[in-house]
Each structure stands twice: as C-alpha cells, then as structure tokens.
Copies of this chain bind each other. A is one copy, B any other.
Amino acid sequence: MSLNESNPATQTPDTSISESTLSFFKALSDANRLRVVGLLAHRPHSVEELATILDLRPSTVSHHLSKLTGAGLAKAQVDGHYHVYSLHLDALHQHAKTLSSYEGLQELAEIDGVDDPFDRKVLSTFLDADGRIAQFPMKRKKFEVLLRYALRLFEDDGPWTEKEVNERLETLNDDTATLRRGLVDHGFMERETGGGEYRLLASN
C-alpha cells in the first residue's frame, strides 16, 4: 500500500522530471539525430547538406533539427538563405553532469510538477523514496512546503469530513493530526463552523 492508488489527487500523470531532461533524451533517441549531432561535432552544416549526407528529404531533416534545437542541443545561424546549424555544447555538458552525479540521478524521481528549487530541496530532504513524509522539519517555512505538497491530495472539490481528510493524509504520514492541524493553522484549510467539515481556502 503506497501513494497512488485509490486516491484521485495522486493520479498525477508523468508531469514530473525536469521537462528539459526528457526532451534532451528524446532528442537523442533517434539514429539519424545522433548522426546529425556527430556531423555537427565536426563542423556546422546546412539543412541541405545534412539531407544529402543522411539521404533524407530536407523537410525531414528540418523536423529533426527542430527537436535538437528544442532540446538546446543545436542552434541555427541564418546566412543568406542557408540556415547553418551548429552544436550547442552547454546543454550536452550540463546533462552529462547530471548523469555522472548521484544527486543528479536521484532528482529524476523528484516530485511531480515542483519547479521551485527551494521546494525541491526541502522535499528531497524530508520525503522518502516512496513520496511519504519521513520526518517533519522544524522550520516553519520548510513545514509549509510539505503542507503545500500535501494539498495535492485535495484537488477535487471538497468539503471533506475529518475522517476523509485523515485517510488521505495517512498516505503521507501516520501522524495525520499534525498534518491536519498544520493545514488549518497555516491557512491552507478551514474547518466549517457548522458540520465541522474541512474545505480549502482560496489562493491555492
């Protein structure tokens, strides 16, 4: 029993992974594009040249080049009506470094859709490999990062009973009371005065 199963809010698709890493590998996952990179490593080439060497139509080469530039691997320099493409080494070296470092690799499994570097850092510190909260941080600011992380369990329309809230929070940590009180005290949720049900506050 883990995250992601009966819970609608955890059905997050593959929006994880620094989008750029994926497009980087996708760009290099085709034989012809690898050859293009090899050719550009020798010297810059125009689209037509590449088309002749690779025995492909210019439109096809253009398509490949757009994937490479999209991944930051190549850049075009317009000269006359030739578009001369050359390699852009920065992206290559950066991703090569990711592959060489252990931390870089671990970040590939980082939490979905979290862009802020501070948030990523906090989450990678306090979540275990299964995405559960391993330990609560002392600092208020870090605790709030975890609370925002917990909010993704409540993306459907509320309100929810305390029992429902607890069930969802339990996928993150057994100490549901701390989490539930945290959500209220830090202004992410409110408890209705009437039935005592919970709902989200705006701004989320």
A-side interface residues toward B, CB under 8 Å? 1-5, 10-11, 14, 16-17, 21-22, 25-26, 28-29, 31-32, 34-39, 41-43, 45, 49, 52-55, 87, 92-93, 95-97, 99-100, 102, 105-110, 129-131
Contact = CB atoms under 8 A, between A and B. Distances in A.
Contact of A129 (B43, B93, B97, B105): B43
Q: How many copies does the complex hold?
A: 2
A105 B41 contact: yes
Contacts of A131: 53
6 contacts: A4-B52, A14-B32, A17-B34, A26-B29, A37-B108, A96-B97
Q: Which of A2, A39, A108, A131 has the most CB of B within 10 A?
A: A108
A177 to B, nearest CB: 26
Nearest to A110: B38
B42 A106 contact: yes
Contacts of A28: 25, 29
Contacts of A39: 109, 129
A149 to B, nearest CB: 16
A22 B14 CA distance: 23
A14 B53 CA distance: 12
